[in-house]
A = this chain, B = another copy of it.
Amino acid sequence: MGRVKIEIKKITNKNYLKATYSKRRKGLCGKATDLSRLTGCQIAIIVFSPGSRLFLFGHPSAETVIDRFLAQQAPCTDNDHEDESFESIHGVDDREDLENNQEEYKQEEDEMKDAKVNFWWDELVGEQLELHELIQYKTLLNKLRENVARKLQDMNRRELCTIDFFWKEHIHRC
């Protein structure tokens, strides 16, 4: 959409590339704003420029929409199922045995250091923490998420795709 038709392929001239990047990124955000205003949808756009600079855009804000997306990604988030899913991680699938012997359960709980994690964050978020403390937690949390995500990427790609499909088959895509 200009004086001449251009081919949609990687621009080699650096100055030209930067100009096009700025112009079209701006145009993209304008389109996103229009779409949001016309339909009332929420949009987030994340761009990493050729020089790896991060650019964010969103309505109501990029972070709001990204958080909403992340919250939705968990396939099982009801409180009713949290304990269950956590136990299955640690191989504590036989719940009846534990319920029949509270003493043994407590002992086993003490032996499983990892099991405390589940309660750790439940208590954490329930407490009245200072803002900077929450932000520090968020930092650790993002780091952990990154590590787990890397671990997942390292694993068998086909297997991962299957799971991904199961997870996300309800998501529309272009």
Pairwise interchain contact B55-A38, C-beta atoms closer than 8 A: no
Contact B85 A65 (CB under 8 A): no
Q: Is A54 interfacial (CB 8 A cutoff)?
A: yes
Give the number of times this chain occurs in the complex, counting copies: 2
Given contacts A35-B28, A65-B46, contact A10 B142 (CB under 8 A): no
**Which of B41, B135, B146 is in CB contact (< 8 Å) with A50?**
B41
Contact A149 B67 (CB under 8 A): yes
Interface of chain A: mostly helix, strand, loop or mixed: helix
A125: interface (CB < 8 Å): yes
Shortest Cβ distance from A42 into B: residue: B48
Residues on the B chain within 8 Å of A31, using CB: 24, 27-28, 31
For A141, give its contact among B139, B141, B159 (CB under 8 Å): B141
CB 8 Å contact bits of A113-125 with B (1 = contact, 0 = none): 1101110110011
- Tell me how far the C-beta of A167 lies from the nearest C-beta in chain B, rounded to whole angstroms: 8
Q: How far is the CB of A173 from chain B (nearest CB, A)?
A: 6
Give the B-binding residues of A (Cβ under 8 A).
Answer: 8-11, 17, 20-21, 24-29, 31-35, 37-50, 53-57, 63, 65-77, 82, 85-86, 88-89, 113-114, 116-118, 120-121, 124-125, 129, 131-149, 151-152, 155-156, 159-160, 163-164, 167-168, 170-174
